[in-house]
Structure 1
Amino acid sequence: MSTQSGHLPDVSVIIAAYNAMPYLTKSVTSALEQSIGRERLEIIAVNDGSTDTTGAELDRLARENPDTLRVLHQENSGGPALPRNRALDIAKGRYVFILDADDYLGPEALERMVAAADTNGTDVVLGKTIGVGGRKSPTMYKKNEAKTDVFSSEVYRTLNPMKLYRRELLDRHGIRFGYELRVCEDQPFVMLAYLRASGISVVADYDCVYWSYRDDGGNITRTIQDLDSRVEVLQYMLPLVAKEVPAGPGRDLLLQRHLEIDLPWILRRIRHVQRREDQEKVLADLRPLFDTYYTDALAARLPAMLRLQCHLVQHGMLDELLTVRRFNEVPAAERVFDVTIEDGRAYAHYPYFRDDAVKIPDRVYDYTAQLSIRQDLTRIRPAEEPDHVLIIEGSARLHRVPQDQEAALVLRERDGSDEHRLPIDSPDDLRIPLRTAADGRPLPAGTWDVFVSLTAAGHTEEARLGSRSDDLDTTPVDHELRDGTQLRSVRAYVTSRGNLTLKTGAPVSRLKRELRADAARWSSEAPSRLLVSGTLRDLGAGERLLLRLTNAVGSRQEYTTDVDPATGRFEQAVPLAAGEWRVHWLLDVPGATPRRATRAVEVPRDLPVTQWRRRLVQFWYAKPLPAAKTKTLTLRVGRKSLLKALLRK
């Protein structure tokens, strides 16, 4: 077989197949139809002594795609290691991709993964894996990672071989699949590739690999029931990790993966082994591993339930282990236990906690890192004015902790470093006083994320308010905060991730928003008086509406305006003295900062000159200055010359 253009391919896809029908056809076809193009691709499929039609189907596909697909046939080897190694030895691609015969690729998978390796100079690329047909897949593909390693990311959580590898890396270090393990033979291969790689990339924004669940039970990891084979995996991998990685946090991180993923497979099944001597043998085989590699630092990284089981395995406590396994197999939603907090540390009341007959140390039950805040929230609503309080109906508590808990809400500005802490009386009484949330004042304009903080016996947990609340009404709540002379808009909404956020607007003058003024006019009864009228809504107790006249030298005249409390209507007659007067509304709110706010009285379009006479011989006038000169109503008031008045007559 040769590629169509005669040059070496970019990718060699390697498929080891044993009794893989009918899944095989889709697997091979997904590789043939890759967007990277046939000229950059070769596929090597090895039929490992199948007894179904796998071999015939591979031959058919090869006849239809002779320039891309090469098929090898061999006697059954008992596992995928030998056929994979045989294909690796003849592969020509710059990269190789190991594909299981019952899984398949997304159309752009290889193109995207090769681009990631070439762009970032990395030797291994993980493509996002999707479970199909009920099969679970790794959940670590949260974001793309250009270049990482096993110690800076979660890539070591997945040791299945379906990844892109630089072939030169595998050849230079002699990395091949081993024959020592009956199951999980891919773990040493992937681990060594990770550790020898110059860098690892993660393609998380595209579904690259579809991981199928075979309804015939043909997936190897679902048919192996031999606990000994799984113990062998730990017996092989833990020493290999210790050999490759110096003692310390890096080694503990890798060992943690094997204890959290491989060990539970064994523990879940040990209770169902019928003969006690077989159960004891499993513990006897595991104990030397714990004596050698299980340190206090590694134990501290584990969840408390697994840490307890590791302790029981390490000390050969089979009966206690079986009891704990029965407790652990109760569905999580039905599993009942308390958590006690003492001196800032939390302890789970799992079986044998502080049992004097068993004497397991408290540190084994340390639950501090797993403490969570359980939130049962229903809706958000503002309280009736004048409280201006945002009420979050529901409760937030440290889960499983029956002790008294001090509660506070914390408001953090999303785009800055400002933070405001609001103590609350109870975790069942969640409320935000909008008028005083920022150290006695309203929140400045911005976006404020809301957190809940709970403290018990010296330990504090904090979480975004709203998370884990499936029943929370996500309808936004809009509120207008009357803050003295100002109005502030507040919107409470739930983000796409289910968390409560407040968006506060810049303050706006209440006079600007609440005062609706009629056009100023002259009094028909007394031409020397200016009449102003209009409507002012929501004037509070003790608040006053005034009209202020200011002249050029700073002299002021202020007139209190009576506002009808029922309708909000008002009318004010203003006597005029000689001078040039600017006319403003004034809102006076005792105790507010600022206490007073002003708004200009607008220049009427057609306010005429008015005239009147005093003491028979004094002629006066008042006229507005042109609007082009000022947007504020400014009146010039003066006395007319008697001679000029007589001459005009």
Structure 2
Amino acid sequence: MTVTRPPDVSVVVAVHDTMPYLTACLRSLVDQTIGAGRFEVIAVDDGSTDGGGAELDRFAAEHPGLFTVVHQPHSGGPAVPSNRGLDLATGRYVFFLGADDLLAPHALERLVDAADHYGSDVVLGKMVGINGRYVRQDVYARTDPDLDLYGSALPYAMSNTKLFRRRLLDRYRLRFPVDMPVGSDQPFTIEACVRAERISVLADAVYYYAVRRHDRGNITYRSSPAQRLDTARRLIEFTAGLLPAGARRDAVLARHFDWELSKLVGKDFARFDPETRSAVCAAVKSLSAAYLTGRILDRLSPAQRYRLALAARGRIDLLIQPALHSGSAPLVLEKERVLVHLPGFDEMEREHFVFNGAFDSRMASGIRVLEAAWSSDRLVLWIRAPVLGDGAAEPAPLGISGVPAEVTTELAVDGSGTTLCARIPMRALLGGRRHDIRLAVTAAGELYEFPLPALGRRLRQRRWHRGRPYRISVIPGRDEQMVVRVSRVPWRRALLWRKQ
């Protein structure tokens, strides 16, 4: 009696309206180097209306024994066809492939070999995006036979596009939640990784190509705000129910607060309808109260902490303000730190406003020379800088370097920063040939000096100094920065001054 050996790996492909990308996807399976006898493809047509079902049948006819094709009415999401394919799988391992994505020719062979060699229950192969599809690369920094779920970037790579040991899936009866039209692969993958005895990642080559459709038809791009909110809530609650409270749970939950939930209170929030805005704020409030720990907050950026805090307080009026996302809000200089003067500054804890960006580039892009003029024996400059003093109630302590100057400061009327008036004595300018005037400011204990942007016009003045004629010119220098140049004037030309 002949005993049929089960395949090493079953590839499950859930298909719904992915033509013409489906053809390339199936071709990438046919081209696998692992050999037809070592893997099977189970393709579930979930009610495709674009000819995808017929394409599956064509490949099955051309490659008998490789493809198993199942046709079913459209279920509303990838969970049902994925579960059906998993139920039919007979391989030692199962790999889930998106119907618009591609596998590198060596992918299955190397993934299976690695799982066998390392004894892995889950194996990730390096994934990259095509057509602008964003794929985080942190987890693929290096090959790691024993990847730690709680101490790595793995929580940010929770799609199901991995190799799973089928025995693990069967032991814990892991299946996709059919009531999640978006994100149903994440609870499946999270639990598989939690239950796995060993997880490995292969970063020696590209294994998986995630394709962004030109029509943005990928399910992750076309999901509604309500679906995204439900997905975020479900993922946080699922993870909290799967893992006991503590550092490990927080390591996974941080991804959901950072990725799914924070995006809902980001730039998209202002485009939501009023009902969705209220629903988002209510969800953020309840989820934050239940699960947002100090460890998770430490993993979030100040901007994320700030926006989540606004949402938890129901401050829809502030979340929809353009200044919240424009990057134009002035900075506040405290003794030990720099803050961002965002809406709600006087109502919330200062920790929500800590600035962790590049102070020098933010300042350099925001400095403006409002006016320049000669006044008697002085060059007077009016300069605006996007900084405020301690508490945002007083002007920032600014100064001038490069030349001696008398300086006064005041808050800008519109609250956009500090206006500095610098009066530079003419005699100080005549003491040299070139002056690069800079704005000086101390932030968090460090001194910064910034060149002033050039005026939109040239400013000249004639002066006699120690019996000699000079011209003082305020002109654009390198990189359109302000330069004051002092030059001797020939006597013949200087004599004409007296006649003019």
TM-score, normalised relative to structure 1: 0.54
Pair 34,297 (structure 1): closer, same or farther in 2 beyond 3 Å = same
> Shift of residue 261 of structure 1?
1.1
CA distance in 2, matches of 1:309, 1:169: 39
**Amino acid in structure 1 at the alignment position of 2:353:** Y
Find 2:331's aligned residue among 333, 338, 345.
338
**Secondary structure class of the residue paired with 2:145:** strand
The equivalent of 2:213 in structure 1 is 214
> Shift of residue 252 of structure 1?
2.0
**Amino acid in structure 2 at the alignment position of 1:234:** A
2:171 paired with 1:175: no
The equivalent of 2:432 in structure 1 is none
> Shift of residue 99 of structure 1?
0.3
- RMSD over aligned CA atoms reads 2.9
> Shift of residue 346 of structure 1?
4.2
**Secondary structure class of the residue paired with 1:242:** helix
The equivalent of 1:29 in structure 2 is 27
**Amino acid in structure 2 at the alignment position of 1:287:** K
> Shift of residue 107 of structure 1?
0.9
- Pairs within 5 Å for 1:388-407: none
The equivalent of 2:453 in structure 1 is none
* Higher RCO (CA < 8 A, seq sep 6+): 2
Gaps of 5+ in 1: 376-398, 405-454, 461-649
**Secondary structure class of the residue paired with 2:181:** coil
The equivalent of 1:350 in structure 2 is 342
**More helix per residue:** 2
CA distance in 2, matches of 1:127, 1:400: 47
**Amino acid in structure 1 at the alignment position of 2:37:** E
CA distance in 2, matches of 1:117, 1:177: 23
CA distance in 1, matches of 2:87, 2:234: 25
> Shift of residue 139 of structure 1?
2.0
Q: Deviations over 1:85-134 (max 9, x none)?
A: 11111111111110011001011111221222122211111111111112
- Pairs within 5 Å for 1:271-290: 271-274=270-273, 276-290=274-288
Gaps of 5+ in 2: 363-385, 389-395, 399-441, 448-500
CA distance in 1, matches of 2:248, 2:338: 26
The equivalent of 1:291 in structure 2 is 289
**Amino acid in structure 1 at the alignment position of 2:331:** D
Find 1:309's aligned residue among 283, 307, 310.
307
Q: Deviations over 1:298-347 (max 9, x none)?
A: 22321000100010111111111222xx23543x6xx454263534x443
CA distance in 2, matches of 1:65, 1:328: 56
**Amino acid in structure 2 at the alignment position of 1:340:** L
Q: Deviations over 1:528-554 (max 9, x none)?
A: xxxxxxxxxxxxxxxxxxxxxxxxxxx
Pair 403,44 (structure 1): closer, same or farther in 2 beyond 3 Å = farther
**Secondary structure class of the residue paired with 1:148:** coil
TM-score, normalised relative to structure 2: 0.69
Pair 373,12 (structure 1): closer, same or farther in 2 beyond 3 Å = farther
Find 2:350's aligned residue among 362, 370, 381.
362
> Shift of residue 28 of structure 1?
1.1
CA distance in 2, matches of 1:457, 1:296: 24
When the two structures are aligned, how many residues end up with a matched partner? 375
User: Which protein shows a greater Rg?
Assistant: 1
**Secondary structure class of the residue paired with 2:201:** strand
Confirm or deny: 8 A CA contact 2:147 2:200 kept in the other structure.
yes
CA distance in 2, matches of 1:146, 1:45: 30
Q: Deviations over 1:403-439 (max 9, x none)?
A: 89xxxxxxxxxxxxxxxxxxxxxxxxxxxxxxxxxxx
- Pairs within 5 Å for 1:62-73: 62-73=60-71
Confirm or deny: 8 A CA contact 1:5 1:39 kept in the other structure.
no
Pair 253,403 (structure 1): closer, same or farther in 2 beyond 3 Å = farther
The equivalent of 2:260 in structure 1 is 262
Find 1:228's aligned residue among 195, 219, 226.
226
2:106 paired with 1:113: no
- Pairs within 5 Å for 1:12-27: 12-27=10-25
Q: Deviations over 1:618-641 (max 9, x none)?
A: xxxxxxxxxxxxxxxxxxxxxxxx
Confirm or deny: 8 A CA contact 1:304 1:348 kept in the other structure.
no
The equivalent of 2:150 in structure 1 is 151
**Amino acid in structure 2 at the alignment position of 1:327:** A
2:323 paired with 1:327: yes
**More strand per residue:** 1
Confirm or deny: 8 A CA contact 1:177 1:188 kept in the other structure.
yes
Confirm or deny: 8 A CA contact 1:303 1:367 kept in the other structure.
no
The equivalent of 1:570 in structure 2 is none
CA distance in 2, matches of 1:240, 1:340: 42
Pair 112,337 (structure 1): closer, same or farther in 2 beyond 3 Å = farther
**Secondary structure class of the residue paired with 1:280:** helix
CA distance in 1, matches of 2:195, 2:71: 32
CA distance in 1, matches of 2:446, 2:286: 36
The equivalent of 1:250 in structure 2 is 248
CA distance in 2, matches of 1:142, 1:327: 36
CA distance in 1, matches of 2:217, 2:152: 32
